A and B are shown apart, each in its own frame.
Chain A
Amino acid sequence: MRLLRWEALCAIVAFALTLLFILVPGPYPMAIFTFIAQPLFAIAAIGYLRKVFVDLRRRRSL
């Protein structure tokens, strides 16, 4: 594993959108959280887990 740059960027945007919804709840922030922030978190997590898996395979731990 060398870098987790785009995964971290996805998560930063998702955290910012989640914070917006938590502080200013309303239909639009709720939609942004539901339909943008949550998928971004999922993309970041999948990207991270994929790199961990590749790293473990490279080290022959799996």
Chain B
Amino acid sequence: MNFDFLQIVMLLGTLICVLGVILCIRTARTRFDHIEAKGTDVNMGIARVPALAFAKLMAFAALIALPGGAVFLANYHTFEGVHQVRGCASCHVMLPMVNDMRDPNSGTLAARHYKNGWIAEDQCYHCHSDYGLSGNLEAKMTGFRHLARYTTRTYHEPIEARVRFDNKNCLNCHAGTLKFEAVQSHRTAHEQLVSNQMICLNCHGQSHPTSVQRTPGSKDYASLTEAMK
């Protein structure tokens, strides 16, 4: 059997959650004052411990240790999940970007990267890596805002990016390569590119479908919002 890391996280997360529920039910039914009054011991195989200490240990596991593990794994699942194109496409408003990227007839920057195989996998994440675990806090907060707006349906199509795209996402792969450095304008505008005073799209065209194409009722809207196969 071939397990990937995300499947291991899912399996471990499931085990922790099930164990957590069992221990929480046990903790909810425990009367600590009664146990203390009885003063009995629990045989743990290798040692006998007072029943009260054992019950408190179980309560600590149920309410602190296992929740900590579950939150860690679920957050890891969140940040790993956003790496996958399918993860982005699970939100309706992202379908135009994903469908256009996968369209061999599209000439957008994202589509050109996709059809030429310049990025082997996790194509969305490679250019929007701020959302991942290594990204900055501002990107995380933006991600949570997007999540809240999407799930409460307090957004309007076409969606517009509020934050400026960080050129670092492009330069991570392109900067320093022979092809990139051979272009005179890249060397001339190096400082402006690094400091985001100039954006790469000024010269390299539209990255995704235009807001007009993504507006409900436009001629491209239906094809752009088809569910991902």
- Residues of A whose CB lies within 8 Å of any CB of B are 1-5, 7-9, 11-12, 14-16, 18-19, 21-23, 25-28, 30-31, 33-35, 37-38, 41, 44-45, 48-49
Range for the number of chain B residues in contact with chain A: 35 or more
Supposing A21-B74, A23-B10 touch, asked if A11 and B17 sit within 8 A by C-beta, the answer is no
User: Which residues in B have some Cβ–Cβ distance to A below 8 Å?
Assistant: 9-10, 13-14, 17-18, 20-21, 24-25, 27-28, 30-33, 56, 59-60, 62-64, 66-67, 70-71, 73-74, 77-78, 81, 87, 90-91, 144, 147-148, 150-151
Choice from B62, B77, B90 contacting A22 with Cβ under 8 Å: B77
Cross-chain contact A3 with B31 (CB below 8 angstroms): yes
Majority DSSP secondary structure for residues of B touching A: helix
Kindly state the separation between the CA atoms of A41 and B17 in the bound complex, as whole angstroms: 12
Centre residue among B30, B74, B78 by max chain A CB count within 10 A? B74
Q: Given that A18-B70, A30-B78, A38-B71 are known contacts, is A23 also in contact with B25, CB under 8 Å in the complex? A: no
| Further pairs besides A18-B70, A33-B74: 4, Cβ < 8 Å | A4-B63, A5-B28, A8-B27, A19-B13
Judge whether A25 and B64 touch: CB under 8 Å: no
In the complex, the answer to whether A2 meets B20 with C-beta atoms within 8 Å is: no
